[in-house]
Amino acid sequence: MGNRDETNDANNVNDNGKDDIVDDNANTNGNKSNDDHEINNKVALFNIPPEIFLPIIDNLGLGDQFILSQTSRALRHVFSRDWVQEMSQLGFKDSLRFWAAVASRKPDHWACSHCCRLHPVDTSDTPNTPRDPPCFAEYGMEDVSKGYTLQESHVQNALKLHRLGNQHQDYLAGLMRPYSTFSKREFMFENAFTESYTLNPRIIDNRFIIQEEWIIQDEDEVDRALSQHVKIYACPHVGVFDGGYLRSIDWKMQASELLRRIRPGAFEITILESMMRLAVKGPGYSMYDSCPRCPTDYEVVVSEDQHTATIRAWHDFGGEGAPVDTGWDAHVRSPGPDDWMYRGFAMREDGGRVRRLWLSSTS
């Protein structure tokens, strides 16, 4: 790991590229060759016709151009520029894209979307044992479950190390470690019920996917636990508030009625509550639906003997890239009731995609 607390920002990109963000193994030194034909043979891009080569170069992001400039002497000449000056003209999002591109080839660093700098990787920082970044940013943290806090750096580091395949594999294993809990609810005048919870992360098609599963087992009919007691927060927008689906629906309807006075057209999201109600009425049959606001799919099924309910959620936390481009923000909870509200009817066009992606990796 790096010895510095963090790398500096654009001022670290000098015209010689001799800083932490530059690959020391890049072929950028040595005696220059006057044989253009030899250089062209070493750089396959130069064998592409100019009418194709130039548009490719023009459409590359600044971060990709910087990375290519570190791969050979010839490409260093192609992308020769004042990097500090170029960086100073970037807006926040483009600056973050630059650092994300640079971090994509550095297994020891990650790009922070809060301070827009590179931080050294802390191998003790995992979803099961989260750590604050050096800049103490709280942005980009998603409490998927009590005891499991997923940060954007966890996702990006896992995807990068999975792609590289030969570095920090113990850390990758820590990032991909499952999480589980078990609890038993007991009552003075009622029978008990149990709830087991498991969370499994997986990288599928270079995307970070999580499956959550709740198994509710009731000595009485499981509808008692579902309608009166359970609390399930699956994504920021779909969930059952404490007290079961009946109380959750009632609370959301009352709150949304008040909110519509200042936000006309706002309606509560009660997808999971409705799925539970339908599953109880049709034991043995799976109910499927999707969150209208983030890439999360759901399944609820009640056993035929009506003593067990299984709820599953599949989340797609995106692929490699800057957080502004991966859709990470859709999974981050915001204060207030906005998360579980939407205006008018909404439906995800790709509903079921995440569930099918997960199942395809297990078949």
Structure confidence by residue, pLDDT tens digits, 26-48: 443 444 444 444 445 555 666 77
pLDDT tens across 50-91, in order?
A: 777 777 777 777 777 777 776 677 777 777 777 677 777 778
Instruction: For strands 193-204 and 207-218, give the pairing.
Output: antiparallel
Q: pLDDT-based confidence at 315, cuts 50/70/90? A: very high
Q: What confidence score (pLDDT) does residue 116 get?
A: 84
Sign of torsion, CA 215 220 224 230?
A: negative
How many CA atoms are closer than 13 Å to the CA of 65, on its beta-carbon side? 19
Q: 119: exposed, middle or buried (C-beta count within 10 Å: 0-12, 13-18, 19+)?
A: buried
DSSP strands (E only) in 54-122: 109-112, 117-120
**Could you tell me which residues come within 8 angstroms of residue 239 by beta carbon, excluding any fewer than 6 positions away?**
231, 232, 233, 248, 272, 340
Distance, in Å, from the CA atom of 71 to the CA atom of 25, rounded to the nearest integer, reads 9
Q: What is the pLDDT of residue 132?
A: 83
Higher pLDDT among residues 59 and 254, named by residue: 254
- Model confidence pLDDT, tens digit, residues 170-196: 999 999 999 999 999 998 888 999 999
Q: 3-state SS of the chain: helix, strand, coil percent to 5?
A: 35, 20, 40
> What are the distances in angstroms from CA 61 to CA 12, 48, 66, 138, 300?
19, 20, 9, 28, 43
The amino acid at residue 100 is A
Looking at the predicted structure, is the pLDDT value of residue 261 above 50?
Answer: yes
Both tokens of 103, joined, read 């971090």
pLDDT band at 245 (very low <50, low <70, confident <90, very high): very high
Q: What is the pLDDT of residues 194-220, one digit of tens each?
A: 999 999 999 999 999 999 999 999 999
- Residue 71's pLDDT is what? 67
In terms of pLDDT, which residue wins out, 342 or 273? Answer: 273
Which pLDDT value is given to residue 28? Answer: 39
Domain boundaries, the chain: 1-103, 177-362
Q: Is the pLDDT of residue 337 over 80?
A: no
Q: Is residue 259 pLDDT above 50, yes or no?
A: yes
Reference 211, options 297, 278, 270, 152; nearest CA is 297
Are the C-beta atoms of residues 289 and 269 closer than 8 Å to each other?
Answer: no
Phi then psi for residue 248, to 5 deg, are: -65, -45
CA 172/CA 160 separation, integer angstroms: 9
- With 50 as the cut, is the pLDDT of residue 100 above it? yes
> CA 153 from chain center: how many Å?
9
The dihedral built from the CA positions of residue 119, 121, 124 and 129, taken in this order, carries a sign that is positive
Angle subtended at Cα 65 by Cα 60 and Cα 69, rounded to the nearest 5 degrees? 150
Cα(70)–Cα(277) distance, integer angstroms: 58
- Which residues, at least 6 apart from 89, have a Cβ–Cβ distance to it below 8 Å? none
**Cα radius of gyration (the chain):** 25
Sign of CA dihedral 134, 136, 139, 142: positive
- Measuring CA to CA, how many Å separate 134 from each of 115, 121, 138, 139? 10, 10, 11, 13
